């Protein structure tokens, strides 16, 4: 199947075109499924994530014409849904652990650990030079592409990319040296 220009597909999708939506699903659905499966390790959950991601795309279809890098946007949406699924799994696991451990009077404080980790990320980001901090926040919290970050910061794409890369390196290094966090958690927080 050949795909028309992505910009045209997004314009058609914004107008409610189901064939355009189906083409985007055909083009990206398997990639998102594979990415989700790596993390959730369950085929049904991975399929659910793909469905949720594309439901979100359908709901936001009118806004997609402003997106300059749809693939990046889509994978950020997917990443966020994967993280949500992992958090739900962790909460279920914690609830089960709590029920099992209440008899012995010990309840693990996972929420506190998560809060501590979030604080550490925030602390690391606040320590960044102003340009790196701004680039990091635009990229990671607002989901902007390198080009969009560059435009917002009024710098070249390469300067934006370099600032984001340096910021990510610093945050990962800071977390590794100040907090006992598995590399997987650091990569999920930073990407």
Task: Note the pLDDT tens digit of each residue in 63-92.
Answer: 888 888 888 899 889 988 888 888 887 766
Q: CATH 1.10.1740.10 in the chain, residues?
A: 6-86
pLDDT of residue 85: 83
pLDDT of residue 90: 73
pLDDT of residue 183: 47
Q: CATH 1.10.10.10 in the chain, residues?
A: 109-190
Rounded distance between C-alpha atoms, residue 191 and residue 41, angstroms: 19
Rounded distance between C-alpha atoms, residue 55 and residue 157, angstroms: 31
> Top-level CATH class of 109-190?
mainly alpha
pLDDT of residue 72: 87
Task: Note the pLDDT tens digit of each residue in 57-66.
Answer: 999 999 888 8
Q: What is the 3-state secondary structure (H, E, C) of the chain?
A: CCCCCHHHHHHHHHCCCHHHHHHHHHHHHHHHHHHHHHHHCCHHHHHHHHHHHHHHHHHCHHHHHHCCCHHHHHHHHHHHHHHHHHHHHHHHHHHHHHHHHHHHCCCCCHHHHHHHHHHHHHHHHHHCCHHHHHHHHHHHHCCCCHHHHHHHHCCCHHHHHHHHHHHHHHHHHHHHHHCCCCHHHHHHHHC
Q: 109-112: list long-range contacts, CB under 8 Å, 24+ apart.
A: none
Q: Which residues of the chain have pLDDT under 70?
A: 1-4, 91-116, 178-191
pLDDT of residue 186: 46
- Kindly report whether the global pTM for this prediction surpasses the value 0.75: no
- Is residue 112 a contact partner of residue 36, using CB atoms and an 8 Å limit? no
According to CATH, what is the number of the domain 6-86? 1.10.1740.10
């Amino acid at each position: 199947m050949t795909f028309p220009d992505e910009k045209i597909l997004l314009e058609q999708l914004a107008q409610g075109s189901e064939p355009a939506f189906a083409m985007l699903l055909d083009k990206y659905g398997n990639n998102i499924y594979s990415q989700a499966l790596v993390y959730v390790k369950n085929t049904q959950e991975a399929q659910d994530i793909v469905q949720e991601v594309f439901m979100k795309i359908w709901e936001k279809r009118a806004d997609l014409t402003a997106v300059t890098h749809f693939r990046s946007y889509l994978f950020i949406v997917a990443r966020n849904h994967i993280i949500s699924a992992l958090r739900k799994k962790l909460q279920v696991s914690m609830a089960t652990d709590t029920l099992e451990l209440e008899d012995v009077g010990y309840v693990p404080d996972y929420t506190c650990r998560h809060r501590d980790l979030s604080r550490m990320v925030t602390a690391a980001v606040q320590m960044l030079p102003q340009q790196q901090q701004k680039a990091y926040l635009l990229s990671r919290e607002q989901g902007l592409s390198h080009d969009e970050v560059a435009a917002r910061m009024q710098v070249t794409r390469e300067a934006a990319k370099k600032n984001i890369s340096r910021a990510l390196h610093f945050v990962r290094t800071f977390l590794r040296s100040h907090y006992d966090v598995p590399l997987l958690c650091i990569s999920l927080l930073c990407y």
